[in-house]
Structure 1
């Protein structure tokens, strides 16, 4: 039976992997913007959404028309990285701590793609974009971009785990 690592070591690894994978995803978004002029999600909108939750509003007709909230950009970016760390913890919870000692691509990639469930069925509907961006001008483009971005996040989980070994 493999020896389990110290809980604090595992938590630090999850923290590093989550931050690293989110950073890989952000570099991908920068490349899309610079090379193909494809914009990324403005994380201030995530902060705005969370800010309105404190006032009891969870679903918006259009998040763009919702009033700005205090520190929305900082809250959005912090939440973006926190979610990345939580997802990294979810991967480790599902595949087990042994993966941290010998990471493999397939579980990380599949998990990354599976995380697209959250924007498709939670964030996009709450932002007023519809389920899986159904109310956006080009739903298939939005869906494809989300799926690819979450696959890149999965690749980032794997690559970061390799780097911190």
Structure 2
């Protein structure tokens, strides 16, 4: 029972922290490089339509808006981050959360690029690995960098969670 509580607390703290790091990176990237962040309202729009049975869109921006799509999208963004932290803990165990190391965090962070490349982008009309976007390789590189930053965030948040849960 203690391990289950520790697992949930660790996944929530690590996933939330890593997602915050990724969002800070998005703000820095926009300010320094002029690269806009993902509009999470579009993720919420896709999820809203998914709930009514529509999986794929030719262009998610052309699909009708969904009530509360921004809130839905941001909530999903953080829940997905928590989910990937859970994947990290399932793969590498609670011992990782008790003594975080960089390699497992980067493995999961970089591996998480599969979700947008193979699920979200195709479903939202951007094609597999952004193949239907104006600059696919730029989008792929930005995605890879962002998910690598997420992996670094998993590591940093792992240490912070460890310090919070084990004073």
Consecutive unaligned residues of structure 2, counting only runs of 5 or more, are: 163-167
- Give the TM-score of the pair, scaled to structure 1: 0.96
Please list the CA deviations of residues 85-141 of structure 1 after superposition, one character each: whole Å capped at 9, or x if unmatched: 000000100011110111000110111000100100000000100000000000000
- Of residues 35, 39, 45, the one that matches 1:38 is 35
- Of residues 150, 153, 162, the one that matches 2:150 is 153
2:139 aligned with 1:142: yes
- Of residues 98, 113, 134, the one that matches 1:101 is 98
How far is the alpha carbon of 1:72 from its aligned partner? 0.1
Please list the CA deviations of residues 45-98 of structure 1 after superposition, one character each: whole Å capped at 9, or x if unmatched: 000000001221110000010000000000000000000000000010001111
SS in 2 for 1:83: helix
Q: Could you tell me how far apart the structure 2 residues matched to 1:7 and 1:63 are?
A: 38
How far is the alpha carbon of 1:10 from its aligned partner? 2.1
Map 1:17-96; keep pairs closer than 5 Å. 17-96=14-93
- Give the TM-score of the pair, scaled to structure 2: 0.94
**Which piece of structure 1 moves more, 33-42 or 16-25?**
33-42
The runs of 4+ residues in structure 1 deviating greater than 2 Å are none
SS in 2 for 1:6: helix
Q: Is the 8 A contact 2:7 2:89 kept in 1?
A: no
Q: Could you tell me how far apart the structure 2 residues matched to 1:130 and 1:10 are?
A: 35
Q: Could you tell me how far apart the structure 2 residues matched to 1:6 and 1:63 are?
A: 41
